Amino acid sequence: MGCCGQSRAAYSAAEEARYQPAATPPAASGRTAGTTTATTGGVRLHFTGEARVRVRGPVSGADYVFSGTDPVLTVATEDVEGLLRTGYFRRAY
């Protein structure tokens, strides 16, 4: 029988793997997983939270990573309205 620390380590590893970006073929989306800047222009959004979050663009499927220390990113124009509707983002000027 293993100790409780082994279960905790296994759980942590599983959770970390769960938040890794999915591989997206470049031909399918025009972007690779982990892209944080739109390739055909975009809009700068400011994340209003403090935690580190990874969100997937609702239209483009691009991955964006925001945090309290890095709250402003350029996102694909087609993702802006969906992200603003969450209430966690505002336009950065």
Global model pTM greater than 0.75: no
The pLDDT of residue 2 = 56
Rounded Cα distance between 63 and 24, Å, is: 10
What residue segments make up the domains of the chain, in order of their start?
29-91
Task: Please say if the pLDDT value at position 11 is more than 80.
Answer: no
The pLDDT of residue 4 = 58
**60 and 77 in contact (C-beta within 8 Å)?**
no
Rounded Cα distance between 1 and 24, Å, is: 40
pLDDT tens-digit readout, 18-70: 444 444 433 333 333 444 444 457 999 999 999 999 999 999 999 999 999 99
